[in-house]
A and B are shown apart, each in its own frame.
Chain A
Amino acid sequence: MLLRPLAALLALAAPLHAAEGTRISVTGEIIDTWCYFSGVMGGPDAVVGSAHHTCALWCSAGGIPVGLLAEDGTVYMVLKIEGSAESAGGDTQLNLASHQIVADGMHYQRDGLNYLVVEKVVTDNDITVENHLDYGTVPPFAIPEGER
């Protein structure tokens, strides 16, 4: 009698290796996930857009994972973009830093995080969040003194 619920509970406890994905379309900004999640550079509104663009370049080139911050606030950890699996410092993600994109791809979930394999960047709207007048540069030293 208890076998069926026991089996169901065991299935919940089992590893979730290579989960099935779900096809989705997401509109959002390609962000630097460390600055966003950790708050090391300020609040979530300060670590997006034009104010944080140079830092986003540094972090992307530095191999920090990029995410897609959707309009509803969900962060999708981006594992692949249009055939490029170079999620640790690759050119494709670097070139999209701070851009708003419309992405079609496969969505996976594991242990509280959302993952996205972008199959197609349907639209690249470039940078749409212009927040530099609110926050200046984030961090303040993003522009060298000699170039200000």
Chain B
Amino acid sequence: MRYLLALLALAMPAAAQDFSEGSEAKSWNLYAEQPARFEAKVVDILCEVTGDCPENCGDGTRQLGLVRSADNVLVFPNKNSQPAFTGAAVELLPFCGQDVEVDGLLIEDEDLGARNIYLVQTIRRQGDAEWTKANRWTKVWADTHPDAAGKGPWFRRDPRVNAEIAREGYFGLGADKDAAIKDELFE
């Protein structure tokens, strides 16, 4: 009976587990956030889920995940630590296939279907003393967009975003409608 209970515990979803011990994650004051520090392996999510596995986790083009060591749960890091509309794949790519420790915020909101969603704030290889802040995204963007250099945040200068807005407007409904909406909202 004891063995059966142990196996049942292994088989149960780990949503109720608490990974906040030792976390130094900064709050974003989000409704469903919980600090979470845990060990994991960095994986290419498409590879992990479907078996479609290129070299080096897709070289930064794909979403990367964290297979948590404690329970084998695939955690999905949606966000890096910058308050700048920036994801986490760029931060995790240098650790592709490696065993790491991460600290950040776990989002669990049953009403919205949010399970094992993560905002990663710091990363380090298991065994390393130094943490790496998960805030490289804007520097990587600047390095790859030298022609978009200038004042203001990256998202005001991004050529692809600006091309979309020029074509369809800020509301995505076409230039004519965009102008009319702006008149209505801001007059």
Is B87's CB under 8 angstroms from A40's CB? no
Is A57's CB under 8 angstroms from B165's CB? yes
CA distance A117 to B90 in the complex (A): 21
Is B165's CB under 8 angstroms from A54's CB? yes
Is A1 in the interface zone, CB < 8 Å from B?
Answer: no
Other-chain contact of B171, A10, A51, A117 (Cβ < 8 Å): A51
Is B81 in the interface zone, CB < 8 Å from A?
Answer: no
Which residues on the A side are within 8 Å of B86 (C-beta)? Answer: 62-64
**A61-B155, A87-B63, A111-B13 known; A127-B172 Cβ under 8 A:** yes
Within 8 A of A (CB), among B1-42: 3-4, 7-8, 10-11, 13, 15, 28, 30-33
Which residues on the B side are within 8 Å of A87 (C-beta)? Answer: 45-46, 61-63
Is A89's CB under 8 angstroms from B28's CB? no
Interface SS of B by simple majority: mixed
Which residues on the B side are within 8 Å of A110 (C-beta)? Answer: 48-49, 74
Minimum CB–CB distance for B84 against chain A, Å? 7
Within 8 A of A (CB), among B29-83: 30-33, 45-52, 54, 58, 60-64, 72-76, 78-79
Is B49's CB under 8 angstroms from A58's CB? no
Beta-carbon nearest neighbor of A5 in chain B:
B4
Beta-carbon nearest neighbor of B84 in chain A:
A62
> Per-position contact with B for A107-130: 1 when CB-CB < 8 Å, else 0?
010111111010000000011001
Is B49's CB under 8 angstroms from A64's CB? no
Within 8 A of B (CB), among A51-79: 51, 53-55, 57-59, 61-65, 73-75, 77, 79
Per the CB 8 Å criterion, the residue count for chain A at the interface is 72
Residue with the highest number of chain B CB atoms closer than 10 Å, among A12, A33, A94, A106? A33
Which residues on the B side are within 8 Å of A44 (C-beta)? Answer: 112
CA distance A34 to B109 in the complex (A): 12
CA distance A66 to B13 in the complex (A): 25
Is B63's CB under 8 angstroms from A53's CB? no
Is A82 in the interface zone, CB < 8 Å from B?
Answer: no
Interface positions of A (Cβ within 8 A of B)? 2, 5-6, 9-10, 12-13, 15-19, 21, 33-34, 36-40, 44, 50-51, 53-55, 57-59, 61-65, 73-75, 77, 79-80, 85-91, 94-95, 97-98, 106, 108, 110-115, 117, 126-127, 130, 132-133, 136-137, 142-144, 147-148
